Structure 1
């Protein structure tokens, strides 16, 4: 399949997304055929959740860009390199293609959010090779160190933005990069999956905070799965909630303690760097 069919727009029936789509259509009509919805707004319309938690989609700003050769008018959107092939139309909205949207999110969003957006696009079929090829064709993208770092950090195994942000919090604190969706044989032979973790040390990190973790049935399923992993295989599981956005240090400390207890042996330099990062997180979010 080509990139036009790999990523679908946000499903109809989501009232907030429908409101965002209607406002985006109005904005692109207002600014004319050279304009396209981009970045966060385009990502959301492609079904990728990159809006900050608590964002009101009925009133949040619409991200719009337009090509540099468009006729100049007062209050025009940002002008960027925007080849015609990078713009598609869906449900009356001109928006950047999935590959261009993913690339722009990776290039411009804050690092943790950029990786969270990239992870979701990768899960939906956008490839790193396609992103790199597109980046080579755009001034300011080719050779950009920050963009390359974000592309290296992407992982299609992350199943939610919260998992992506948790993974990046651990990595930026100096801990080893955790694997995603680690399979462990379940009681009936079918695999159970640890959200994030370190299989060698049997230390797992489970993110609770997305919609699929809410409700009595979902919580009961999670607890049964975790009890099996702990009791049968001896996994130590650290459960992370959305509070990690505001108090990351205790979670980093819990994972670090578990790894050290289970046999991870960082160098003195690594421990010094981790300690400094944890102290920084304590000060930053105190």
Structure 2
């Protein structure tokens, strides 16, 4: 074992000028050539005498094992993933989900259509015989005591005052012929016109179409032509429009008699005045 030299030792180059190596004789056994000595190692640029390193007798074995292990194929190949099986499981899962959804929606539809909307059956009431009303017994009422009658005192009657006889009207002397004189013939004596302030010589002092005596009897002012101030003279109200000379709005419609006449309306009632 130790006598056999390893085959992987380096060989020394042939010296220059030497001839070709003689070929080995055929059929003869040639002892193996010894490896040339190793050159001395350099250390720090100085040649040092070489030291014989121990030979590694297991280097060939390690190389063979590493060479064979690197090229060795695995005995069992990993199986490829089975794609068809996972796809089949996914399809089955989707089908189950679809079936559950169909059953759920179908059950909900059936419940809402036939169960939830079904009319409630009301059980009939048991027949009851009409009860005869019983008359409650009324206890005898206790006698009500009669309150005593109190005598009321007669109210005091006030005595009426003694009747006073009416005083007779004062004796008015009869008018004298001078007091009865009516110069303008308006129905007022000259003395009365003097008291009223009218002109005893003019029958219509204010010139409104009514004589002074008529105005006094109607309650209008014989000194003012339009007593109520409605825009119509006292004479026109009495003789033409038949309105009240003492009331500015005879028919009470909110418009004065003069405004109604100026706009063509009847001052003594509804409607318009007839066209003449």
Normalising by the smaller structure, the TM-score range is: under 0.3
State which structure, 1 or 2, has the greater radius of gyration over its C-alpha atoms: 2
Q: TM-score, normalised by structure 2?
A: 0.22
Q: TM-score, normalised by structure 1?
A: 0.22
Of Structure 1 and Structure 2, which has the larger fraction of its residues in strand? 1
Of Structure 1 and Structure 2, which has the larger fraction of its residues in helix? 1
